[in-house]
């Protein structure tokens, strides 16, 4: 499996975990910018990027936050996946990602 296929597989695994939360799940794209997943619970919104490789920069999340300034931004990587998998909702509620 090449790195692109591994990235897609990792994204699918994260998506399956997000789906299991029972919250509304979306994809966001505006122009050339996109966010892998948008999760909504009531008025709470999370923009979620999945990064499986070395590149952790998330320009799409930056643009998403310009459109939805009250949303929370989260980046899920192989390094923090086990904490996410253990309790996805708690992970999202307590994780604050710094966007570079």
Q: Quick one: fold of 3-94?
A: Trna Endonuclease; Chain: A, domain 1 (3.40.1350)
Tell me what pLDDT residue 56 has. 66
Strand partners, 67: none
Residue given tokens 């979620």 in the structure block: 48
- The number of C-alpha atoms within 13 Å of 64 and in the hemisphere containing its C-beta is 25
**How much is the pTM?**
0.90
Domain ranges of the chain: 3-94
SS3 53: coil
Query: What is the pLDDT at residue 3?
Result: 84
Mean pLDDT, all residues of the chain? 91
80-88: long-range contacts at Cβ-Cβ below 8 A with a sequence spacing of 24 or more?
A: 81/10, 81/13, 81/14, 84/14, 84/17, 85/17, 88/17, 88/18, 88/20, 88/21
**N- to C-terminal Cα distance for the chain?**
29
pLDDT in tens, 31-43: 999 999 999 999 9
């Amino acid at each position: 499996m090449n790195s692109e296929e591994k990235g897609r597989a990792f994204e699918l695994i994260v998506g399956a975990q997000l789906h299991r939360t029972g919250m509304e799940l979306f994809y966001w794209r505006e122009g050339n910018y996109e966010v892998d997943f948008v999760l909504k619970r009531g008025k709470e919104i999370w923009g979620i990027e999945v990064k499986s490789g070395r590149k952790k920069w998330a320009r799409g999340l930056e643009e998403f936050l310009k459109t939805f300034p009250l949303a929370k931004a989260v980046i899920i990587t192989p390094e923090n996946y086990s904490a996410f998998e253990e309790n996805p909702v708690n992970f999202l509620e307590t994780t604050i990602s710094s966007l570079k």
